Amino acid sequence: SAEAIDRIVIIGGGISGLSSAFYLQREAERQGRKLQLTIVDEAPVLGGKINTLQRDGFVIEKGPDSFLARKQAIIDLAKELGLEDELTATNPAAKKTYIMHNRKLHAMPPGLVLGIPTEIAPFMKTSLLSLGGKLRAVMDLFMPAKPAVGDESLGGFLERRVGTQVMRRIAEPLLAGIYAGDLKKLSLKATFPQFGDSERKHGSLIKGMMHNRKATAAAAKGKAQGTTFLTFKKGLTTLVRSLDQELGGAERRLGVKVTEINKAASGYTLKLADGETLEADRIVVTAPAFAAAKLLEPLVACEELKEIRYVSVANVVMAFDKKTFGLDFDGSGFVVPRSEGLHITACTWTSNKWLHTSPDDKVLLRCYVGHSEDQESVKLPDDQLVAAVRKDIRETMGITAEPIFTEITRLNHSMPQYPVGHIEKMQSLRSRLKTELPGVWVTGAAFDGVGLPDCIRQGKEAAAELYSVSN
């Protein structure tokens, strides 16, 4: 290397940017390289979408609240950060989840995995579907597999294999928490590739998911059995804080936006909104696709990034006194299909699902608002938003108690919608960047998975990628 020091700037201090930084630092140490790392974020604090609020003995997540336990990248990171003891699982007594149908809560039949039945007997008993809907779903067991094609829409695939009722009444509301999207517009390959794999390998979605479930159960033997979700006892910001501490050597520019990237004689310069200029040999861009596109567009074609639509969502957290609440929960909450015509898309019985979040004599609820076809509710003024949510929980659960407090969080343009063909599009974008902007790597929730573990894995990949670029 001509220069003794690698100057790397990371745009975005969310989990993708912080993980990139952490693994870059580790890789530099391993290779004995000198690294000058700078993290720039327009927000005044690190963490991006991760945002835990501690209030009156409650642990309130305003963004993500937990993660899939079977995804290794986040478990590995927690271990590397010495945070294993901080992890906590969902209340084992709150396993039940409900789905609304005709304004009533129906228990989710046992064996549903991502909305797909893996146990036929309880599925045939559910009151969520008509007999015709159930028979249509199990036809999947006998229908021939479609010859392997490229990508298709998640909704189209589900409709084709298990029918419209399962898609609209079960899968869409369950998956809404992840994408808030229109399943008919989301890429199958980029969201749930295991569904397509099931059809190809087992000739049936249901058979494939049955097989996966057995394999997962076998692999989980001896580990935390039955836990699907984990979080940190003091909230997800535990992870952010710990990463922040580990990145002692990195410089932070918080509360300031990167407004421009330019090519320099050697490497790049980045212009910040406060007028300052940073120099970099390499850049990791973890900003949302629309923000990344703004920065890269003057230098390289990036239509693919502009094609990724973002949905806005909001959530309303409400705290109550147990004494006046008047309701006991026997599960973790419920999800609401769009056809129900409510403002809320889901309601988590947080104090029951996550025992660490609330004092024993209190109740905590979190209601979600907004999806791809409802971008109006999220714009309601605070008082109207709270009134709409309270009306929904009064009409569906009979809750009339006055909350002790409410916390509203609006996440504008926060949920990326991977379009059909997403994976190929991102590959072609990246290969274009490789030749036209060497040393610039784009990653994060817009690319290869929105879940926290996926973002961490992508951060690790970013580090490997940047340090494999010859220099």
User: Which residues sit at the interface with ligand FAD, rule CB under 6 A?
Assistant: 11-17, 40-43, 48-50, 63-67, 257-258, 286-288, 291, 313, 411, 414-415, 444-445, 450-452, 455
Note the helical H segments in 252-297: 289-296
Closest residue to bound ligand FAD by CB: 48
CB of 257 to ligand FAD, least distance (A): 4
* Number of neighbouring beta carbons within 10 Å of residue 303: 10
What is the CB-side half-sphere exposure of residue 353 using CA atoms within 13 A?
22
Question: In angstroms, how far is CA 462 from the centroid of its own chain?
Answer: 19
Reduce the DSSP state of residue 464 to 3 states and report it: helix
In the complex, the smallest distance separating the C-beta of residue 46 from ligand FAD, rounded to whole angstroms, is: 8
- Nearest-approach distance from CB 264 to ligand FAD, in angstroms: 18
For 166, the token pair is: 């399962």
Beta carbon nearer to ligand FAD, 16 or 126: 16
DSSP secondary structure letter of residue 439:
T
CB of 21 to ligand FAD, least distance (A): 11
Smaller CB separation from ligand FAD, 195 or 354: 354
Q: Count CB atoms within 10 A of the CB of residue 155.
A: 21
Q: Which is nearer to ligand FAD, 278 or 287 (CB)?
A: 287
Select 166 or 171, whichever has its Cβ closest to ligand FAD.
171
Shortest distance, position 141 Cβ to ligand FAD, whole Å:
32
Nearest distance in Å: CB 272, ligand FAD? 8
**Tokens of residue 218, six digits:** 């076998």
Q: How far is the CB of 446 from ligand FAD (least distance, A)?
A: 7
CB of 456 to ligand FAD, least distance (A): 9
426 within 8 A of 304, measured Cβ to Cβ:
yes
432, two tokens: 């274009």
- Pick from 367, 245, 375: nearest CA to 315: 367
CB-nearer residue toward ligand FAD: 128 or 293 = 293
Residue 372, both tokens: 């791809």
Q: How far is the CB of 269 from ligand FAD (least distance, A)?
A: 14
Nearer to ligand FAD, 49 or 134 (CB): 49
Closest CB to ligand FAD among 322 and 409? 409
What are the residues facing 230 on neighbouring strands?
67, 89
Q: Tokens for 268?
A: 């790049």
Q: Which one, 393 or 411, has the nearer CB to ligand FAD?
A: 411
b/e 336-348 (16+ beta carbons within 10 angstroms → b): bbbebebbbbbbb
Q: How many Å apart are CA 191 and CA 182, to the nearest integer? A: 12
Cα 312 from Cα 356, distance rounded (Å): 28
121 vs 254, beta carbon nearer ligand FAD: 254
Tokens matching residue 146: 């479609």
d(CA 145, CA 461): 34
